């Protein structure tokens, strides 16, 4: 996938919205601070393994799947910045 979406968008739209949960209510269920969850859902923070596990335990989506989405997102962002990263392949002197 060339431009995967942030996992926060998926969690917001596919998990919390169908359940009718507000950020405040979901944060209480997950036992995290509201700003912590809000930053994830608004795509201002990355999904951590601990948060993925909390989401799995509370709402069902497997943490491994959620973390693969985060990895795909991170890889795509890094690839987009590839030209700005000025590193050359190392060649050992003979």
Q: How confident is the model at residue 2 (pLDDT cuts 50, 70, 90)?
A: confident
Q: Provide the CATH topology of domain 7-79.
A: 434 Repressor (Amino-terminal Domain) (1.10.260)
Average pLDDT, the chain: 96
pLDDT digits over 31-71, tens only? 999 999 999 999 999 999 999 999 999 999 999 999 999 99
Q: What angle do CA 86, 90, 92 make, to 5 degrees?
A: 155
Span between the terminal Cα atoms of the chain, in Å: 40
Task: At 22, give phi and psi (nearest 5°).
Answer: -80, 165
pTM of structure: 0.89
Share of the chain above pLDDT 70, in %: 99
φ, ψ dihedrals at 65, nearest 5°: -65, -45
Q: Which of 5, 1, 3 is nearest to 70 (CA)?
A: 5
């Amino acid at each position: 996938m060339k431009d995967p979406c942030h996992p926060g968008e998926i969690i917001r739209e596919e998990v919390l919205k169908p359940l009718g949960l507000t950020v405040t209510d979901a944060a209480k269920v997950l036992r995290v601070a509201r700003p912590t969850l809000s930053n994830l859902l608004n795509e201002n923070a990355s999904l951590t393994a601990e948060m993925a596990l909390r989401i799995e335990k509370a709402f069902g989506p497997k943490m491994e799947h959620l973390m693969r989405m985060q990895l795909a997102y991170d890889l795509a962002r890094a690839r987009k910045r590839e030209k700005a990263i000025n590193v050359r392949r190392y060649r050992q002197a003979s």
